Each structure stands twice: as structure tokens, then as C-alpha cells.
Chains A and B, each alone.
Chain A
Amino acid sequence: MDEFKTVIGLEVHAELDTKSKIYCGCTTEFGGEENTHVCPICSGMPGVLPMLNRKVVEYCVRAGLALNCAINPYSRQDRKHYFYPDLPKAFQTSQFDQPLCLKGYVDIVADGQPKRIGITRIHIEEDAGKLIHEVGQTRVDYNRCGVPLIEIVTEPDFENSAQVHAFLEALREILLYTEVSNCKMEEGSLRCDVNLSIHRVGEPFGTRTEMKNLNSFSAAVAAVQYEAQRQRRVLSAGGKITQDTLRWDDAAGNNYVMRSKEDADEYFYFPEPDIMPMVLSDGYIDRIRQTLPELPAHRRERYVSQMGLPLYDAQLLTVSKFISDFFDQTVAAGAQPKSVSNFIMGDIMRLLNERGWAAEKLPISAQSMAELLSLIEKGAISNSMGSKVIEIMFDEAKSPTDIVQERGMAQVSDAGAIREMCRQVIAENPKIVDDYKGGKVKAITALVGQVMKMSRGKANPSMVNQLLEELLN
């Protein structure tokens, strides 16, 4: 039914998670009182010079390697000029024709279909400041000025918003796993621009528009859908698309023209004379390659095919690199993958949520976790007692064995003791016993519950079940 094809490319800006800014020693910390994270260098005072932060190059190379890019052995910075009060030097130091990373790709799955998205280039540049508009005046805050960014430019490989969404999720995961960016959308750490055109099948590509200010994945998805529809309507009505730069208004759910091609900016790019070219040796690149962690897609694949976990578990476990690492370490310490996964997805996630803690605050080591699971496997404690032990481990720095011992939580598997409790419960609950004997077989669970309660959870539940059946029949 669809006679049009949509062609989409993305430009994603990610703020790097370095401690200091790209050309000075100021902190990159988000927030802070206006103009307190600034110095003469990042506020563009006369006579200052940039000193390139080596970490920025390293982080960009790391991102490039994780995104399957070729690393440019000779790269340099260029000045991109425009006048705007948030840009104190009147140029942004960026990269023009010699970016650090070239030609990579990301594999995604969208609507159940695998798809490879090409990466055209990745380059480093500096962030600008922020304008604060007030009645009668506008002020500028330069705190974000000089925070390092990478710009990731994709090939026009996307056909729809689902692919855009899947790509952004995959990219976010990779940047988090490689610790290149904290990807906090709400702090503007990850933002994207969309280039979109449509054309009739069999015809050449149409005129594209560029959409800016997409500060969340949902905004990107909504903007892509809106713009594709808009262009379709225009073309269907016999109209023409003009090469405009549009600004997405997330609240209104539509876009408007920021500037049209006639007043397109010219940036007067030229090589930055104050920063020496970056010459990267193979050894340097290899050293960075060796520090790359196993990426989430690969981990999921391994969890499913080698450990036999359901895809659902694999996806949940890899949402955070920390959790995924914790899982791997616990398994390496001898635990069964599925039981580790169950405890992580159940008790651990719940307890972290209840306390409002990030995964990194998990106070349990992989060793202790494996120890706990081995206690359960040996029958020393029950599964449900295991949950209680985890909860105690969140608050007390003790080994699970010590906790079980100190609190007498060990499972009771003494048949004589359990039989005695069962007799008592049968004697105290004639009504339930009658139900059971009258054919309501499920009534036995109520009796099991009573025995467990009486044993304060320590009785071995399968033995309780077995002995009750024995006594009742």
C-alpha cells in the first residue's frame, strides 16, 4: 500500500564521561551555580589556548572500536565558526575532514528483523553554553562550555522509527558498557538530530530536512513519524519539500522551521592552529582495544546459547553492565546460571528498587552470592529463607553462612521433629483435615503453611508435604 520509501540518517551527540573539560581543567560535573565551572580558557578570554585532554581522544577511540569503526591514524581538529552568545570563542573546535573514527556499523533488531546500520564517522568536539531567557534579558551560563562531545554520524540506513529506536537503544547500551558516556538524556548527555527524506519507490532520493532538539528516544520516534507523515502529505498533494532545518517541539508533538536553505550557515572551517594533529600509533589503538568490555549484544547471545537462559533473562541481566558483570562473576564462582538469574531478577532488583539504589551500590559480592546459592542447593536453607538472607546481606556486611548460623535459619530436615509438628497441626485444624478428606486435595497446602509457620520457615517444605500426606492417609 505504501508507495513511498523513507530514508533516515542520524547525528547523535554524546557527552563524554571525562572528569575534566576538553581543553581546560574545569570539571564536567552537571549542574552547579551558573558560571562556576568556568575558567579563562573555556570562557574564551583573549589570549587563551586550548590544551587537548588526552582522555577525550581515548574515549572517542573506545567508542569507535566498540562501533566497529576504523581509527584514523592521523586526525586533526578544525574550527567551525558561527556567532552565538553560547559560543564564547565564536567558533566551536570540532573535526571536519579528518575525524578520529570512520566507517563502522551497529547491528540491531527492529520489528523482529535484523538490520545493520552504518556509521559514517565519529568525531570529537566541544559543547556550547546555555542561554537563560528571562523577561527583558538573556543571560549565558558557560558551565557546559567545553564539555567534550562525540558526534556519531550514521549512514542514511534507517527506514522507519522502530529502527531508529532500536539503534538508539543499542548505541546507548554500547556507550554505557564502554563507559564513554553516562547517556543521561535528562542532562542532555545524549541528543540526536534526524535527517529525513522520502521518495517514491524507483525514484531518486527526495529532498531532506534536518530536525534538531530531540532530547529523548520517544521524541526521536515521534519526530520521525511526524516528519515522514508530513512529507508524505506534502508530496501526495503535489507539493515540494524544501531543505529546511526544523525544530521539534516535543510538547506540541510537531515541528517548525528554524531556518531554510537560503540562509543556511557557512561555517568557514579551517584547521585549528593551536592544537597539534593527533597521530595515533597501532600500539595505542590496540591498548585501547584490549580495555574494551564484552558488549551487551554478545553477552545476551552467550547467555542464551551457552548458558541456556531465556532471552527475557538475558535482556534483563544486560540492562546494566554492573549487573551483567555480577551475574558472570557469580556463575564463575560456581553457581547455576538460572538460579543466579532468578535471584537477580527477583530479590536483588526488588531490594535495589525499594532502596532507590543504582545497581553499582549493590552491597553483595559475587562470592557471597555464589555461597548463598550453594547453601540453597545443598538444602541447608530453603529458597524462601534465601530471600531473607539476601535482604539481611543488603544491610549487614556478613557472609550468608554466618547469617544463617547466627539467626538459626538452617532448614530442619529431622523427620521426627517435622512429624511431631505435622501431628500437632492436624490435631489443631480438624476443619481443614475434613475438607482434605472430603476430596479437596488442595487443602493440604494450608496445612503445609501452618507447619512452616510453626517451624518459623525452617522446616524442609518437601518433607512437610510428604509427612502430612503420610499422616492423613
Chain B
Amino acid sequence: MSQHRTAGEDLALLTAHEASRCLAEGKVSSVQLTQRMLDRISQSQNNVFITVNLKALEEAAAADARRAKGEVRGPLDGIPMALKDNISTQGLRTTCASRMLADFVPPYSATVARRLSDAGCVLLGKLNMDEFAMGSTSENSYFGAVKNPKDPQRVAGGSSGGSAAAVAENLAYFTLGSDTGGSVRQPAAMCGVMGMKPTYGRISRYGVVAFASSLDQIGPITKDAEDCALVLAAIAGKDPYDGSSLANPLPDYLAALEGGAKGLRIGIPKEYMGEGISPEVRAAVEAMAKTLEDQGAVVESCSLPRTEYALSAYYVISSAEACSNLGRYDGVKYGYRTKEYKNLAEMIEKTRSEGFGDEVKRRILLGTYTLSAGYFDAYYKRAQQARTLIMEDFRKVFHQYDVLLTPTSPVTAWPLGQKHANPLELYAMDVCTVSVNVAGLPACSVPCGLDSQGLPIGAQFIANTLGEAVLLRAAAAAEKGGSV
């Protein structure tokens, strides 16, 4: 992308770091940026937002006032952004795109929401998604499907479809999504933007409505690698409210962007390039590998032999944890409650069958089954064993490679409704992304050209634990390579 765009052009097209410079140079105000975004949001036809923050302009004015007093909080001060609607925001409803929480206003904010607010960001609103983050199309929403801004007849990917579409459609300078099995990377790929899932524990999960606790991770969706580095630096790090968050110091993510491709050791696991991957996607990823090689990277083929177990392990573990995490939605304390019931048991039953959508119910049933006495060892325990094997695979290849390069999704965005009736076919679409969550590793999806229909293709970089910096280096190199 051009480094030289300024406020002279459409403000909406700026990256976050470009907008930041315009703010710093006094060429534009946060109120102007925010107003531009709000205008675009109100005109958008793609069902990207569930809730718009009515206080956005107020927050922007406060950012401008800080700037006027010389109290700028950092590069993101005054930048309008939006959050996936499973990230709790105090005083602003957080629905998880579910009827169950359609009117739920959290009494507290997620750590990431607080950190962005502390960094001075303006919250534009809350983004559409698959209900409780279960899905890979953002069609499983109580508020209707998200449409892909690149082609409104097609899905935006999921579950963070709204987060990816918002960035692609220039409705926010960046967004946050959550990634349990690819939910940041896959929609980013389908909408042609960048999405990162950091190492498990790098970013606090406190306040992010849990889907699968051992797999969930928040991730930024941005227009480029530099924006990703800025956002990551603002939200990553130890949180006393999340026992699984990591205390390791943050590296200089912005400096990592300058690393370049030269000497970067890239492995391409053959299990990710075989059957099931569309030829166009495969060719685009190979072309990106070639570009990086031309810039001085060392590219080799490698193998992660246990990849085939990842999908099953992922669905067993994530469904088990989901069934546990979603038990609390019972109509007693908050959220939806059925209208008529004779007793407590009926109240809970009817509330849950009316409040949850089909996909959520499917996962809860799956989870209940795998956790049942007599099945626990055969499913949950074996899935955990598979998890160990998958981690071992990765550990081995990372002795040889700095990053792995794979497709993000086997195919580009498909038409709305097409795969909705066949859950198993849909689950198989997660094949390139889930093993990263199962192993707790960081990965990102970067734009990797267009297919013959003009639809975005995504390439995925995977790094070893806490390798966010090397991911940013690879992503920045790929951008420079001109594949975008």
C-alpha cells in the first residue's frame, strides 16, 4: 500500500497508521474520522454492525480535546474502531449475535476493550458474527447474515465476519475479532484484509464471551501489517484477570516490520497443499512463496503428519468446552427467558431451546455427548492426546523454520446459503486454521491476490509460540512483494 496517502483523499480509505499521522499533523480531527465512519456505517447494506455506539462522537471529541491539550495517549488515540459483539463493553449491549443475549448490557468491559479505550480509541460499535462465534460464514446470526463487501451475494467468512467486513468496507480503521478455530483469519482471507490470531495467552480473554476456553484468542483485523503491529502492542500482555495470560515482555512489533524476507526460513507443510485445496488458492500461495524467495527467503516443503487429527480433535474439544461455557444461559439471571413455563426445569429447557440457534444447539449436543460418562475417554481424552501429538509436530518443524506458509481457507468466499444445510462440509472448511488453535500457536492471514472471479485469497503464516514478531515480519515482506 502507498505510504503517502493523506487527508486529501477519502478519509475512509486511510489505514490506521495513516489516519494516526493525519491526526498528529493536525490535518484531520478524530471527530471528522469518526463522522466519516458513522456515515459509511449508516449507508452500508452488508449487515456488518449489530449495534452502533451512540457515544462515538463524544469519545472522538474527547480525543480531540486531549490532543489540543498535548495529552495524546499514543498512536491509536482518536482512531475509530469496532469490536466483535462477543467482547463485553460496559453499558453497550453485547449480544454474541444470539437471541439469548439480544438485550444484554454488560456491567463491565473486557480487558481488550478497556485497553483500547485507554489507548484513546473511539468505539464505533459492535460487529455481527456467527452466534457465540460458532460458524465459519457469519450466517448463524440472530441479526441476519453478514454479506461480503467484495461480493454481497457471498459470505464474509466467520465467525468474525462483521469484523473482517468492516475493515474491508472501510467502516472502521481496524476491528477486533475472536479466533477459536480460524474465526479471525478465515473471514480476513475472504474479505481481503489482514487478521492475526496471536499465541494463546498473549492477549487477555477476560470479558470475551467464552466459546472454547482453551482455544479462544482475540485477534486484530487490519488493513495492513503495520496496523496489526500497532493494535497488537496496545492490547497484548499479562492481565491479572486472566490466569492463562502470559507475562512475557512484548517485543517491538513495529521494528519487526522492517525485518524483510531475506534469510527468513519458510516451510510449506505439504498436508496443507493437497486434496481439498482449490487449485487457484494453491497457485496463489505458491506464487507468494516464490515472491518471498525472490526477496531472499528460504522456502522448503515440510510435513506435519498429524494434521489429519486436528479437525476431529478441534470439534471434540471446542464442543465440550462450549457445552460447559454456555450452561449459564438459563433464563435465571440475565438474557432471554421464555414467556410461559410451569416449573423451573421447563423454564430452563424452553429458554435454551428458544434462545439458541441451531448451530449452537448442535455444538452443545455434541459436547454433552463427548463429555458423558463412558464416552469421555473415547472422545475428550483422545482429543487431548491428539492435541499433544499435533503440538509435537509443530515443535519439530520450528527447529527448521521461522514460519510456515499455508492457505488460510481451502476456497474463496462461497455464495450465501450454499453450505448452510451441510454442517460437516462446512466444518471441513476449517482444515487449514484449526490446528493452530489446537496447538496454541500464533498465525495470521494476509491478502494473497484474487481468484478468477475477483474474490480475495488469503495466505496464512504460522509461527512458533510467541512468534508474533516474525509473523509481522513475514506479513510486511509479503505486502512489499506486491501480492496484494
Contact = CB atoms under 8 A, between A and B. Distances in A.
Given A79-B324, A273-B213, A47 B348 contact: no
A273 B330 CA distance: 22
A278 to B, nearest CB: 11
A50 interface: yes
A133 to B, nearest CB: 11
A296 to B, nearest CB: 37
A130 B376 CA distance: 31
Nearest to A89: B328
A395 interface: no
B199 to A, nearest CB: 15
B108 interface: yes
B243 A50 contact: yes
A51 interface: yes
Contacts of A85: 330, 332, 344
A51 B330 CA distance: 24
A107 to B, nearest CB: 36
Contact of A270 (B86, B88, B324): B324
B332 A91 contact: no
A268 B243 CA distance: 23
Contacts of A90: 324, 327-328, 330
Contacts of A309: none
Among A45, A46, A85, A91, chain B packs the most CB atoms within 10 A around the CB of A46
A46 B241 contact: no
A275 interface: yes
Given A273-B213, A276-B243, A47 B324 contact: no
Interface in B232-256: 240-244
Contact of A275 (B205, B243, B348): B243
Interface string A70-101: 00000000010101010011110000000000
A266 interface: yes
B372 A49 contact: no
Among A79, A89, A90, A275, chain B packs the most CB atoms within 10 A around the CB of A90
A48 interface: yes
A135 to B, nearest CB: 16
Chain B interface helix/strand/loop/mixed? loop
A268 B214 contact: no
A413 B86 CA distance: 88
B333 interface: yes
A328 B380 CA distance: 56
Contact of B330 (A43, A48, A83, A276): A83
Interface residues of A, number: 28
Interface string B418-455: 00000000000000000000000000000000000000
A91 B244 contact: no
A59 to B, nearest CB: 19
Interface stretch (B10-18, B99-107, B258-266, B458-466): B99-107
B243 A47 contact: no
Nearest to A51: B243
B206 interface: yes
A81 B364 CA distance: 13
B94 A81 contact: no
B390 to A, nearest CB: 17
Interface in B321-377: 321, 323-324, 327-330, 332-334, 344, 348, 368, 371-373, 376
A40 B107 contact: yes
B442 to A, nearest CB: 19
B214 A273 contact: yes
B407 interface: no
B404 interface: no
Contacts of B372: 266, 268
A81 B242 CA distance: 22
Contact of A268 (B94, B241, B324): B324
Nearest to B373: A266
A274 interface: yes
A139 B224 CA distance: 52
Given A85-B332, A270-B371, A273-B213, A49 B243 contact: yes
A93 to B, nearest CB: 11
Nearest to B87: A47
B19 interface: no
B375 to A, nearest CB: 10
Interface string A24-54: 0000000000000000100111111111100
A273 B205 CA distance: 12
A49 B206 contact: yes
Contacts of A48: 108, 206-207
Among A40, A47, A90, A268, chain B packs the most CB atoms within 10 A around the CB of A47
A90 B333 CA distance: 11
Contacts of A275: 243
Contact of B327 (A43, A47, A83, A266): A83
Contacts of B104: 46
Contacts of A426: none
Contacts of A52: 243
A376 interface: no
A403 interface: no
B214 A83 contact: no
Contacts of B208: 47
B110 interface: yes
14 contacts: A40-B107, A46-B106, A47-B207, A49-B205, A49-B241, A49-B242, A49-B244, A79-B324, A81-B371, A83-B348, A88-B328, A270-B371, A273-B213, A276-B243
Interface of A: 40, 43-52, 79, 81, 83, 85, 88-91, 140, 266, 268-270, 273-276
